[in-house]
Amino acid sequence: MAKIPPTSELSPFEKMVEGALNLLQDPAALGAISPLAAPYMLAMHLEKQEISAEERGRKLRGLIRAIIQDFEGKHAQRHRTIIQMRYFEDKTEEQILQQIHVQKVAYHRSRKQAIQQVSQHLNTLLNPALQLETPPRMTHELLGRAFDTERSLKALAARQTVTLTGAGGVGKTSLGSYLATQWNPQTTFWYTFRPGVNDHMNSLARALALFFKNQKEPLLWQEIMAKGDRLEVSHIIDLVRNLVHKLYQQSTSLLFFFFLVDVLRTDQHVAHSALIALLESLANDAAMIIMGQQIVVTPQTFCLLNDLTTAQMEQKFAKVGIQLSVDELYKVYAYTHGNPRLLELFIALTVYGEPLPQLLRIISTAPPTEFFLRRLFARLDSMEVGLLHAISVFRNPAPIDVWQQGDMAQPLQRLIDRKLLYIHGPGSIAILPAYAGLIQMWISYEERKRLHLEAAAIRAERNDHAAAAYHRIQGEQPEIALMCWHQYQEQAISQGQAAMALRMFHTLNTVHFSAEGRQIHALICAELAKLTGDLQGALDFLKSTNYSTPVLSVDAHIAEGLIANEQSRFAEAKTLFTHALQKSAAIVEARQSLAHKSLGWIHLISDLDLDAAWRAALLARYEAENLQGLIQQERCNFAASAVLYQSALQIAEELNFAEGIAKTLNNLITLAATMGNFEQAEAYFERADYCYERIGKILGRLLAHTNLAFTLNLAGSHDRALTIISKVYDLAATNQFALTSRLLAHVGYQQAEAHLGLGNLDAAEAQIYAAMQQEEENLVPDCMRVMGEIALARGHLAKAENAVRQSIAVYDEDSDANQYMLGYAWRTLAKVLFAQEQEDDAKIAVDRAIAYFSELSLEHQVSITRASFPQFTHLRSA
Whether the Cβ atoms of residue 278 and residue 207 lie closer than 8 Å to each other: no
DSSP track, 825-869: HHHHHHHHHHHTT-HHHHHHHHHHHHHHHHHTT-HHHHHHHHHH-
Specify whether 867 is located in the same domain as 801. yes
Over residues 266-308, the pLDDT tens digits come to 776 777 888 999 999 998 889 999 998 877 888 888 888 889 9
Write down the mean pLDDT value for the chain: 85
CA quadruple 498, 504, 509, 512: dihedral positive or negative?
negative
Map residue 288 onto helix, strand or coil: strand
First to last CA, the chain: 80
Q: Can you name the residues that pair with 255 across neighbouring β-strands?
A: 188, 287
- Tell me, yes or no, whether 425 lies in a domain: no
Specify whether 811 is located in the same domain as 851. yes
Which residue segment(s) compose the domain that 862 sits in? 784-878
**Residue 429: pLDDT over 60:** yes
CA distance 667 to 687: 12
pLDDT score for 613: 57
- Tell me, yes or no, whether 380 lies in a domain: no
Specify whether 114 is located in the same domain as 226. no
Residue 601: pLDDT band (50, 70, 90) is very low
- Tell me, yes or no, whether 382 lies in a domain: no
Specify whether 99 is located in the same domain as 153. no
Lowest mean pLDDT among 230-234, 518-522, 645-649: 230-234
Specify whether 147 is located in the same domain as 94. no
pLDDT score for 658: 86
User: Which whole number is the average pLDDT over 149-153?
Assistant: 92
Question: Percentage of the chain surpassing pLDDT 70?
Answer: 91
Whether the Cβ atoms of residue 140 and residue 174 lie closer than 8 Å to each other: yes
CA distance 237 to 231: 10
Q: Can you name the residues that pair with 864 across neighbouring β-strands?
A: none
Q: What is the dihedral of CA 520, 526, 527, 529, to 10 degrees?
A: 140
**Residue 544: pLDDT over 70:** yes
pLDDT score for 740: 77
Specify whether 297 is located in the same domain as 242. yes
User: Which whole number is the average pLDDT over 714-721?
Assistant: 93
Specify whether 64 is located in the same domain as 118. yes
Specify whether 185 is located in the same domain as 109. no
pLDDT score for 584: 66
**Residue 403: pLDDT over 70:** yes
Q: What is the CATH number of the domain that holds 195?
A: 3.40.50.300
3-state helix, strand, coil in the chain (%, to 5): 70, 5, 25
Lowest mean pLDDT among 316-320, 431-435, 606-610, 745-749: 606-610
Closest listed residue to residue 189, CA positions, set 90, 127, 279, 121: 279
Q: Can you name the residues that pair with 164 across neighbouring β-strands?
A: 291, 303
pLDDT score for 138: 67
pLDDT score for 875: 52
**Residue 784: pLDDT over 60:** yes
Specify whether 122 is located in the same domain as 196. no
- Tell me, yes or no, whether 226 lies in a domain: yes
Residue 595: pLDDT band (50, 70, 90) is very low
pLDDT score for 361: 83
**Residue 86: pLDDT over 50:** yes
Q: What is the 3-state secondary structure (H, E, C) of 660-706?
A: HHHHHHHHHHHHHHHCCCHHHHHHHHHHHHHHHHHHCCHHHHHHHHH
Residue 329: pLDDT band (50, 70, 90) is very high
- Which of these three, 73, 94, 126, is where a domain ends? 126
Specify whether 143 is located in the same domain as 276. yes
Amino acid at 210: L
- Which of these three, 126, 158, 186, is where a domain ends? 126
CA distance 132 to 629: 44
The phi-psi region of residue 476 (left if phi > 0; otherwise alpha if psi is between -120 and 50; otherwise beta) is left
Q: How many domains does the chain have?
A: 3
Whether the Cβ atoms of residue 174 and residue 453 lie closer than 8 Å to each other: no
CB-based contacts of 400-407 (< 8 A; 24+ apart in sequence): 400/38, 400/39, 400/40, 400/427, 400/428, 400/429, 401/35, 401/38, 401/39, 401/40, 401/427, 402/35, 402/458, 403/429, 405/33, 407/383
User: Which whole number is the average pLDDT over 209-228?
Assistant: 85
Specify whether 180 is located in the same domain as 80. no
Specify whether 97 is located in the same domain as 173. no
Whether the Cβ atoms of residue 527 and residue 559 lie closer than 8 Å to each other: yes
Residue 874: pLDDT band (50, 70, 90) is low
Residue 6: pLDDT band (50, 70, 90) is very low
Q: 546: how many CB neighbours lie within 10 A of its CB?
A: 12
- Which of these three, 274, 304, 334, is where a domain ends? 304
- Tell me, yes or no, whether 688 lies in a domain: no
Lowest mean pLDDT among 67-81, 485-499, 529-543, 852-866: 485-499
- Tell me, yes or no, whether 160 lies in a domain: yes
Sheet-wide strand order for 301-304: 188-192, 255-259, 287-292, 161-165, 301-304
CA distance 592 to 709: 46
**Residue 807: pLDDT over 90:** no
pTM here is 0.63
Does residue 706 or residue 195 have the better pLDDT? 706
- Tell me, yes or no, whether 202 lies in a domain: yes
- Tell me, yes or no, whether 804 lies in a domain: yes
Those residues whose C-beta lies under 8 Å from the C-beta of residue 184, and which sit 6 or more positions away, are 253
The phi-psi region of residue 394 (left if phi > 0; otherwise alpha if psi is between -120 and 50; otherwise beta) is beta
